[in-house]
Chain A
Amino acid sequence: MSDNPVRDAITEAITSHDIILFMKGTPEQPMCGFSARTAAALEALGTEYAAVDVLPDPRIRAELSSISNWPTIPQLFVRGELVGGCDIVTEMYESGELADALGVHAPAEAPAHAPAAAEPGAPPLTIDNNLVDR
């Protein structure tokens, strides 16, 4: 471990989850429209993913942006690589590239345009927030 436990925890989270979304708030209670939209795209594809709320500790956002060279939240990583933020994820959802990148087939009921927020009754998700000091 380095002397930067927050950075180590982020790196560990990215490498140990195939699909991980860093967002403001949680999928159930997003605190920003861009985060809501990005989580909703993942939910519309019915994929499981880990989600990390960056809001509890400002160091999470600072270290994440330093690691990813990406200034804004949300950030979606697939198999350790930054896929993008809300704009890119939305574009990829609508072109079908997102399902390909995630290795899933879009459900027949998935809307053609990325939903602005998850529908009620969306499946429960694994919330994995181990980035806050214990």
Chain B
Amino acid sequence: MPSTDDLKQRIEAAIPGARAEVSDLTGGGDHFRASVIAPDFANLSRIEQHRRVYAVFGAEIGGPIHALSLETRAE
């Protein structure tokens, strides 16, 4: 079961300069919310910012990570 720390570390490792805060929405280890700030987001649309974070987890989204609610910004 993924933990909030796992998700935070994976996001920060995959996206240069990213700072992430991850919470478990239900306590069940499968519905998460992440707030991600990354300089790389500066030139991306909101859709592209979210895609960038979803891409960190690939097919795990919808699988072990049932839901990942996102808030993203460049700084």
User: Which residues does A use to contact B, with CB under 8 Å?
Assistant: 34, 69-72, 82-88, 91
How many chain B residues touch A (Cβ–Cβ < 8 Å)?
Answer: 12
Q: A71-B54, A72-B61, A72-B62 are in contact. Are A87 and B67 (CB under 8 A)?
A: no
20 A-B pairs with CB atoms under 8 Å apart are A34-B67, A34-B69, A70-B47, A70-B51, A70-B54, A71-B54, A71-B62, A72-B54, A72-B61, A72-B62, A72-B67, A72-B68, A82-B47, A83-B47, A84-B47, A85-B50, A87-B50, A87-B69, A87-B71, A91-B71
Closest-by-CB residue of A relative to B48 is A69
User: Which residues does B use to contact A, with CB under 8 Å?
Assistant: 46-47, 50-51, 54, 61-62, 67-71
